[in-house]
Structure 1
Amino acid sequence: MKRMGMVIGVNPDQVETYKRLHAAVWPEVLDLISRCNIRNYTIFLREPENLLFGTWEYHGSDFAADMARMAADAKNQEWWSLTIPCQQPFATRAEGEWWASMEEVFHLD
């Protein structure tokens, strides 16, 4: 199992849209996330800075393949077409990232 954390901004005029979308995530998207071996997935919003912090646990054995499967899914692409315009990525994110990955520096079970 691998824990992951990530961060991104939210466009100030899209905060309510982002909240509304995530109050009713499509069942197909939720199922895909589970089939891609992601568990305990949470997104937090910090206002007024409009930052999203996401955390999850990856329980699979081939993260790249699972993420490729997620990205290729037509329903997920439709979901992303609604959520991505709400997001404001950091200029400092690594090449190829949308959400900026974070280093885990502490954990307590």
Structure 2
Amino acid sequence: MIRIGQVIGVKPEEIEEYTRLHAEVWPGVLDKIAECGIRNYTIFLREPENLLFAYMEYHGDDWAADQAKMAADPETQRWWDINKPKQAPLDTREEGEWWAGMREVFHVD
């Protein structure tokens, strides 16, 4: 299992709608997340900075292949098309990232 943390901004005027959408995530999107080995997926909002922090655990053996499978899913693509314009990626993210990856520095069970 791999723990993953990511961060991205959210446009202030979109917080209410972004929150509403995520309270009613489409079943097909949830199914694809599970199919791609992602468990314990949580998104937190930090205000007033308007930052979203995502935490997830990956329980698969090929992260790149599972991410490609998710990205190829038409329902997931529609979900992203609705939500991506509400987000504000960090200028400091790595090339090719949308959500900026984070390095784990501490964990305890």
CA RMSD of aligned residues (A): 0.4
CA distances 1:19-70 after superposition (whole Å, capped 9, x unpaired): 0100100000000000000000000001111000000000000000000000
d(CA) in 2 for partners of 1:39, 1:20: 21
d(CA) in 1 for partners of 2:30, 2:47: 25
Q: Which amino acid aligns with 1:74?
A: P
d(CA) in 1 for partners of 2:90, 2:101: 11
Q: Which amino acid aligns with 2:103?
A: E
Return 5+ residue gaps in structure 2 as ranges: none
Aligned residues: 109
Q: Percent identity?
A: 65
Return 5+ residue gaps in structure 1 as ranges: none
Moved over 2 A (4+): none
In the other structure, the counterpart of 1:54 is 54
Task: Tell me the secondary structure at the aligned position of residue 75 of structure 1.
Answer: helix
TM-score with structure 2 length normalisation?
0.99
Q: Which amino acid aligns with 1:93?
A: R
